[in-house]
A and B are shown apart, each in its own frame.
Chain A
Amino acid sequence: MIAETFTAWRERLVRFAAQLLRDRHDAEEVVQDVFARLLAQPDRFDLGQAPEVLLFRMVRIGCIDVTRKRRPRSNVDVEPAAPPADDHIDLREALARLPRDERETLLLTAVDGLGYREVAEILGCSLGTVAARRCAAITRLRERLTP
């Protein structure tokens, strides 16, 4: 069961963590740690019908822990300016400057296989809040990207 879940969701979990942490190596460590905990205590966690909700929730908490260890607490994670490499660079910068709750919501709603209801469960808020945050984030991105 855990092996199947690992195969099915690992890449999406690593991508989500990498986008939150902006470090692929740290992301892989967080995901490995989550699966190690699942293997060590299989009775404690119920993967049941929707394992993705539990997995993304655990990975999100793992990412928050890593972020806390890295730097002082802040709701806005600002990335140092990088030289423009392609057309997406402005969008990337704008994404990096979004408030954390809006960025997390955007990242999760973009994951293939997660719906608004699952994202709401992962983030521990209502479906309406998820939709409102997504709209607020995209509106903010639009304002920042419009010259």
Chain B
Amino acid sequence: MKKNERPVPLRGIVCLPRWLMISGVALSGACIAFGVGLVVHAALPAEGSGEVAGAIGGAIGCIVGGAGGLFGTLCDWRRRLPATVYLRHVQHDAPHPMWRWFRPALALLAAALLVAALFDQWTLCYPVIQLSGIMAFLAGTIEAIRRHSTRRARAVFALYADGLLEPHDTAAIDATRAQDPTFDADVRAYLQISQQVDDLLLAGLD
């Protein structure tokens, strides 16, 4: 290992929170903007009062939903920022409980699409297609994010063990170790194996 290597900033390793935040803000912002557009549309002279009421209802839905999305995105962004968040992924590297629904939901979705296409029963199959599609999407997305986060968490952990995280991230992980003896024991075991491996490889395997 190179001596005096420059510390690695956490944002250089963990990019998912940034992308989730950008996507969440963009989607929520678009939703709010669409709601504002509906308000403007409702304010303009319209022929039927039903159209105005519908536009206002839609606008309220878009604005409230978009604001909720924005709030959730920013909370999630803050929650995912500290280095210690990722250590939980290293400690509990197991598939998310929802993952077991992914394949059944995908199979159901495929079956419903096939039946709807073969027998031209789209209206009848629509609820099944919608429900199984949502389930498959959620289960797949959550597990994909979990796997990605676990890989990033391993990177954070390895950099911490080699003393390459920035001081404030290192201090946060040190504080977590001080509070959690199990985690501290895990870190010590990791460092011990890491040192043994490096010694063995430096000495040569042959």
Contacts and interface: CB of A to CB of B under 8 A. Distances in A.
Given A19-B205, A131-B159, A135-B154, A91 B197 contact: yes
Contacts, number: 98
A22 B1 contact: no
Secondary structure of the B side of the interface?
A: helix
Contact of B204 (A18, A116, A129): A18
Interface stretch (A30-38, A41-49, A69-77, A139-147): A139-147
Interface residues of A, number: 36
B204 A132 contact: no
A113 B90 CA distance: 28
Contacts of A57: none
Contacts of B13: 127-128, 131
B155 A91 contact: no
B164 interface: yes
B158 interface: yes
Contact of A134 (B14, B90, B158, B202): B158
Contacts of B159: 116, 131
Interface stretch (A2-10, A58-66, A104-112): A104-112
B44 interface: no
B2 A138 contact: no
Nearest to B189: A142
Nearest to B8: A127
Interface of B: 1-2, 5-6, 8, 12-14, 90, 151-152, 154-159, 161-162, 164, 189-190, 193-194, 196-198, 200-202, 204-206
Given A88-B200, A111-B201, A129-B155, 9 more contacts: A22-B205, A110-B201, A128-B152, A131-B8, A131-B154, A132-B155, A134-B158, A135-B154, A145-B193
